[in-house]
Chain A
Amino acid sequence: MAYEPVLTRFFGGFEAQDLDHALAHGVYEGARKALAMDPAQVIETVKASGLRGRGGAGFPCGAKWGFIPKTDRPRYLLVNADESEPGTFKDRALIERDPHTLLEGTIVAAHAIGCETAYIYIRGEFAYGARVLERAIQQARARGLLGEGIFGQRGRRLEVHVHRGAGAYICGEETGLISSLEGDRGYPKLKPPFPAVEGAWRCPTIVNNVETLCNVPWVFTRGVAWYRSMGTEKSPGPKVYGLSGHVNRPGLYEGPLGLPLKELIYSDEFGGGVPGGRALKAAIPGGVSMPVLTPAEVERCRMDFESPREFDSLLGTAGVICMDETVCMVDALWNILRFFHHESCGQCTPCREGTGWIEKLVSRIEGGEGAEGDLDTLLAVAEGMCGRTICVLADAAAWPVYKGFVKKYRPEFEDHVRERRCTVRGRGA
């Protein structure tokens, strides 16, 4: 049976920015159905669908909504549109090409958790996306889908605000996002309390990824059984995959969760293989913090929340980065570590000092100035950063080192140190 794209069905153009076009194609039907249910029922339905968060961690969406305590305080829904993880570019497309489905998912989530104010925290660089969203919100307000008395139900209201970030990856981490939204430095907060209990302005808060919310309406329009017919038992539903690096057809592709990574990279329907007939050397499954996979692992890995664990990796955002045989693994790791060094918020000692340290160390090795013992230090410093910080950025920076590149391509690193040059690209002494 051919896969019917739902999340990316409007990706061919920009028509769905227009509310009439969106309505004509059934957008907001899911919200209409969900709003006829009571919130507990909505949460139960999403739980039953098995929808897991698409922001990277795969947390069950319905369960998260269920954590909202019963209280009179305001509750907030924050839509995480900060998408900044290198190799990840799905949310941007969803925002620019299908803003109304995102708003629809937002309406359903807000109804489920009893919230009247939602914020879409959008990466600062997504200036166009922010304009698209502002316009979509205006249109929806004018049609009574947002604002006071939404969907013709008196007393029910939802305001959605677009808040633009200022250029920090860490503001995509949910509590960093909250700090930033509150007007503070984008410092992640200590947990507990978790946002669901005490989040934005110390009120109960749910943070959901853009793609997660774009999934939500389908659970109501097509039903739980349809939703679960895709993907695996533990990772059901559709997924937008990103493909970049050394593939013939980079871009965004939709398929069920659990798609074989090999198929995503090589099938003509998706990536179409590695350019120039060169061999694949490594692939990162989902955003650069997820440990890299070797070709042998790529053969066996499926793109769901379980399979990559077998290879000490994770699905993450499912933004796959392919590297062919010309890529130096030391150089690739250095590139990744530069990012984390630049993006650490600097609160926690291990992350603040460790991200710079491992970046400089790898830079030195790639530059032909590695020394005996450097690799052991690199691994020790990276491991020392893990599990000891306020958020997991430190782990995300360390995993590619000790679970990924150095672990899986150690001989290449050793060659660099021994020969005091880049042995793949001939740089250095």
Chain B
Amino acid sequence: MSGAVNMTVDGRPVQARGGQNVLGACLEAGVHVPHYCYHPGLSVAGNCRMCMVEIEGQRTPTVTGCTTPVAEGMAVRTSTPKVRAAQEAVLEYLLANHPLDCPVCDQAGECDLQDFSFRHGRGQGRFHEEKVVKHIKDLGPRVKFWGTRCIVCTRCVRFCQEVSGTGELSVIERGDHSVIDTFPGIPLDNELAGNTVDICPVGALLSSDFLYRARVWFLRATPTVCATCSKGCDITVETLEGEVQRVRPRPNPDVNEWWMCDRGRHDLDYVASPDRLASALLEGGASATSDVVARVAESLRAHAGRVAVLVSAWQTVEAAWLAQRLAQALGGRTALVARPDVPGRVYPRFRIEDDANPNRAGVERVLGPAGGPGAGAVLADLTAGRLTAALVLGGMPRWEPPPALVAALERARFVAVVDILRGPLVDLADAVLAGAAFVEKDGVYLNSAGRAQRLRRALDPPGEALCEELLLQRLLAALGHWEAGEVSAGAVFGMAAAAVPALAGLDHQGLGELGRLAGVAPSQ
């Protein structure tokens, strides 16, 4: 099936893969062919009839690109008069029963119907008949359906059949009354349901959460990585006025294909929670960050040789590496702390991981075999008084610190915590520094497959809060162990990559949009 196939698209040589269809080959070659029902992650339905192309030397005037396999020597034309006539006709049919309610539709600005009509449609509609009215309803708790805007492309139906395998959606009725619905008593309520909103090419499926929150052209999109489990789905975080408005998957064939789960999609409330730490705290009262940094450095130095540095599996590779340096400077010991597993789930074409931490693999590789797995020995030493001070780099939302950890820290004579939310650890700490949530920082996470991917800062941390790699650089500087001055996460990563064999050869730039597999697996 594979092997290169040489063809031309509008006269330009294009190399396609054997077994590919003409539309897929055109799109991959960067040739825009309008289409609705085709989605590279779903089976071919061929129902919208929009992706018409002309194949030179074929008897039929136009064919749908999505249903035509590529062939050696094939000459495809995407913009002949016949093609344009067919596209124009399909668009006119699509708009016949459409309510033309773009001004009040959330999809406006990212709607394929709006865009293709503008580019390929007739200026003036000829439909003067009574329009068919279809239902508007909630298909499930988070997905709302506007039948009037639906073009019955069946992407959503195929998604639920093929990717989630849950099959909640179906077309009911027929002809121009065809409409999407759920089976009675079985709402669209699976953990992948949010993807149906993303793949709906029009404003027929909308997210109940995002509904009427913002016009999409005002949103600022930042490519980053989901932190909710160790799969590390590539995502785009869209923000407006300092708040996350929407989270959507970014296609990455090696990680999440085109999808993400709703756990990750709706896991960002804590970022704007009233429990967020917006300033440093000393003995429970707000203090200047610089004072607290100085105090922490001083106290830790006083306990040199008896310091525990606990690094959470939510910290970036950069922060973990700086924490490691700090422990070395203080003659301390490191250990990893992580959220307990949350049962993941395997869908026919998507897997949610059990490990509810985004960077266990990264932190483990940096801390190495001795400092990485399990905090048991370190906690025992704290409890036994062999270690007397602790620095905890937390930053894990929805985390209940285990009683053993709390008890061990309660025995320590000095505890400093870097965190993002109030909680038991912040309450027991002598000094607290306010850190950044993953959407507020740059850095690198390694997912469960060992793929290094970049986090990018979509928002500023609240108030006085700072990214951990900055706080750690300041701590190191206060201890006299940092000569570099304050540098970016990228620069810190460069140093880490030079020092940690498992990260050899990687740098921020080189990770690009889709990340790269880190070289060496962590030794046990």
List residues of A whose CB falls within 8 A of some B CB.
168, 170, 185, 190, 341-350, 352-357, 360-361, 364, 371, 377, 380-381, 384, 387-390
**Which chain A residue has the least Cβ–Cβ distance from B96?**
A353
List residues of chain B with CB within 8 A of the CB of A387: 60-61
Cβ-defined contact, B93 with A354, below 8 A: yes
Question: Which chain B residues in 46-72 approach chain A with CB under 8 Å?
Answer: 46-50, 52, 60-62, 67
B262-301 to A contact mask, C-beta < 8 Å, 1/0: 0000000000000000000000000000000000000000
Q: A346 CA to B94 CA in the complex, in Å?
A: 12
Q: A263 CA to B170 CA in the complex, in Å?
A: 50
**Which chain B residue has the least Cβ–Cβ distance from A191?**
B67
Q: A3 CA to B128 CA in the complex, in Å?
A: 54
Asked, given contacts A344-B175, A387-B60, whether A353 binds B97 with beta carbons under 8 Å apart, the answer is yes
- Which range contains the number of B residues in contact with the other chain? 35 or more
Asked, given contacts A352-B176, A353-B176, A389-B49, whether A364 binds B62 with beta carbons under 8 Å apart, the answer is no
Q: A185 CA to B47 CA in the complex, in Å?
A: 14
**Which chain B residue has the least Cβ–Cβ distance from A185?**
B171
Q: A360 CA to B96 CA in the complex, in Å?
A: 12
B151 close to chain A: CB less than 8 A: yes
Asked, given contacts A344-B174, A349-B94, A352-B175, whether A388 binds B46 with beta carbons under 8 Å apart, the answer is no
List residues of chain B with CB within 8 A of the CB of A185: 170-171
Q: A198 CA to B94 CA in the complex, in Å?
A: 31
List residues of chain A with CB within 8 A of the CB of B97: 353, 356
Cβ-defined contact, B47 with A356, below 8 A: no
Cβ-defined contact, A357 with B127, below 8 A: yes
**Which chain A residue has the least Cβ–Cβ distance from B172?**
A185
List residues of chain A with CB within 8 A of the CB of B154: 347
Cβ-defined contact, B49 with A388, below 8 A: yes
List residues of chain A with CB within 8 A of the CB of B92: 384
Q: Which of A349, A381, A390 contacts B50 (CB 8 A)?
A: A349
**Which chain B residue has the least Cβ–Cβ distance from A369?**
B128
Q: A116 CA to B299 CA in the complex, in Å?
A: 86
List residues of chain A with CB within 8 A of the CB of B202: none
Q: A118 CA to B132 CA in the complex, in Å?
A: 40
B8 close to chain A: CB less than 8 A: no
Q: A350 CA to B129 CA in the complex, in Å?
A: 16
Cβ-defined contact, B90 with A168, below 8 A: no
- Report A398 CB to chain B, min CB distance, Å: 12
List residues of chain B with CB within 8 A of the CB of A190: 44, 46, 67
Q: A353 CA to B176 CA in the complex, in Å?
A: 6
- The B interface, classified by DSSP as helix, strand, loop or mixed, is loop
Q: Which of B67, B90, B129, B176 contacts A346 (CB 8 A)?
A: B176
- Report B267 CB to chain A, min CB distance, Å: 36
Q: Which of B44, B130, B171 contacts A360 (CB 8 A)?
A: B130
Cβ-defined contact, B62 with A388, below 8 A: yes
Q: A352 CA to B97 CA in the complex, in Å?
A: 10
Cβ-defined contact, A346 with B93, below 8 A: no
B89 close to chain A: CB less than 8 A: yes
Cβ-defined contact, A342 with B175, below 8 A: yes
Cβ-defined contact, A352 with B61, below 8 A: no
B152 close to chain A: CB less than 8 A: yes
List residues of B whose CB falls within 8 A of some A CB.
44-50, 52, 60-62, 67, 86, 89-90, 92-94, 96-97, 126-130, 132, 151-152, 154, 170-171, 173-178
5 additional A-B pairs beyond A349-B152, A355-B175, beta carbons within 8 Å, are A190-B67, A341-B175, A348-B48, A350-B93, A357-B129
List residues of chain A with CB within 8 A of the CB of B89: 350, 384, 388
List residues of chain A with CB within 8 A of the CB of B93: 349-350, 352-354, 357, 384
**Which chain B residue has the least Cβ–Cβ distance from A377?**
B126
- The A interface, classified by DSSP as helix, strand, loop or mixed, is helix
Q: A356 CA to B127 CA in the complex, in Å?
A: 11
List residues of chain B with CB within 8 A of the CB of A360: 129-130
List residues of chain A with CB within 8 A of the CB of B152: 346-347, 349, 352
List residues of chain B with CB within 8 A of the CB of A381: 126
Identify 5 residue pairs between A and B in the complex whose beta-carbon atoms are under 8 Å apart, listed by A's number.
Answer: A349-B49, A350-B90, A354-B93, A357-B96, A364-B129
Cβ-defined contact, B175 with A350, below 8 A: no
List residues of chain A with CB within 8 A of the CB of B96: 353, 356-357
- Report A391 CB to chain B, min CB distance, Å: 11
**The 9 nearest A-B residue pairs measured at CB:** A346-B178, A360-B129, A353-B93, A384-B89, A344-B175, A356-B176, A347-B47, A346-B175, A353-B96
Cβ-defined contact, B94 with A353, below 8 A: yes
Cβ-defined contact, B132 with A356, below 8 A: yes
Q: A429 CA to B61 CA in the complex, in Å?
A: 43
Q: For B90, B173, B174, which residue has the most chain A Cβ atoms within 10 angstroms?
A: B174
**Which chain B residue has the least Cβ–Cβ distance from A364?**
B129
- Report B116 CB to chain A, min CB distance, Å: 12
Q: A220 CA to B127 CA in the complex, in Å?
A: 56
Cβ-defined contact, A361 with B90, below 8 A: no
Q: For B46, B94, B130, B170, which residue has the most chain A Cβ atoms within 10 angstroms?
A: B46
List residues of chain A with CB within 8 A of the CB of B94: 349, 353
List residues of chain A with CB within 8 A of the CB of B60: 387
Q: A206 CA to B192 CA in the complex, in Å?
A: 39
Q: For B45, B67, B93, which residue has the most chain A Cβ atoms within 10 angstroms?
A: B93
List residues of chain A with CB within 8 A of the CB of B46: 190, 390
List residues of chain B with CB within 8 A of the CB of A364: 129
- Report B82 CB to chain A, min CB distance, Å: 11
Q: A341 CA to B132 CA in the complex, in Å?
A: 12
List residues of chain B with CB within 8 A of the CB of A388: 49, 52, 62, 86, 89-90
Q: A185 CA to B92 CA in the complex, in Å?
A: 26
Q: A354 CA to B94 CA in the complex, in Å?
A: 9
List residues of chain A with CB within 8 A of the CB of B178: 346, 352
**Which chain B residue has the least Cβ–Cβ distance from A340?**
B175
Cβ-defined contact, A346 with B174, below 8 A: yes
Q: A353 CA to B151 CA in the complex, in Å?
A: 10
Q: A357 CA to B178 CA in the complex, in Å?
A: 15
Asked, given contacts A190-B46, A350-B90, A353-B94, whether A345 binds B129 with beta carbons under 8 Å apart, the answer is no
Q: Which of B50, B61, B171, B174 contacts A168 (CB 8 A)?
A: B174
- Report B419 CB to chain A, min CB distance, Å: 53
- Report A48 CB to chain B, min CB distance, Å: 29
List residues of chain A with CB within 8 A of the CB of B130: 360
**Which chain A residue has the least Cβ–Cβ distance from B67?**
A190
Q: A355 CA to B47 CA in the complex, in Å?
A: 15
**Which chain B residue has the least Cβ–Cβ distance from A390?**
B46
**Which chain B residue has the least Cβ–Cβ distance from A351?**
B175
Q: For B45, B49, B132, which residue has the most chain A Cβ atoms within 10 angstroms?
A: B49
Cβ-defined contact, B47 with A361, below 8 A: no
List residues of chain B with CB within 8 A of the CB of A390: 46-47
Q: A390 CA to B37 CA in the complex, in Å?
A: 13
Q: A351 CA to B132 CA in the complex, in Å?
A: 15
Q: A350 CA to B86 CA in the complex, in Å?
A: 10
List residues of chain B with CB within 8 A of the CB of A353: 93-94, 96-97, 176
List residues of chain B with CB within 8 A of the CB of A354: 93
Asked, given contacts A350-B93, A356-B97, A387-B60, whether A345 binds B175 with beta carbons under 8 Å apart, the answer is yes
Asked, given contacts A346-B171, A347-B47, whether A355 binds B176 with beta carbons under 8 Å apart, the answer is yes
Q: A357 CA to B126 CA in the complex, in Å?
A: 10
**Which chain A residue has the least Cβ–Cβ distance from B174?**
A346
- Report B172 CB to chain A, min CB distance, Å: 9
**Which chain B residue has the least Cβ–Cβ distance from A353?**
B93
- Report A139 CB to chain B, min CB distance, Å: 37
Cβ-defined contact, B176 with A344, below 8 A: yes
- Report B3 CB to chain A, min CB distance, Å: 21
- Report B499 CB to chain A, min CB distance, Å: 56
- Report B33 CB to chain A, min CB distance, Å: 15
List residues of chain B with CB within 8 A of the CB of A356: 96-97, 129, 132, 175-176
List residues of chain B with CB within 8 A of the CB of A380: 126
Q: A168 CA to B178 CA in the complex, in Å?
A: 14
**Which chain B residue has the least Cβ–Cβ distance from A358?**
B129
**Which chain B residue has the least Cβ–Cβ distance from A341?**
B175
- Report A268 CB to chain B, min CB distance, Å: 43
Q: For A190, A348, A355, A387, which residue has the most chain B Cβ atoms within 10 angstroms?
A: A348
- Report B516 CB to chain A, min CB distance, Å: 38
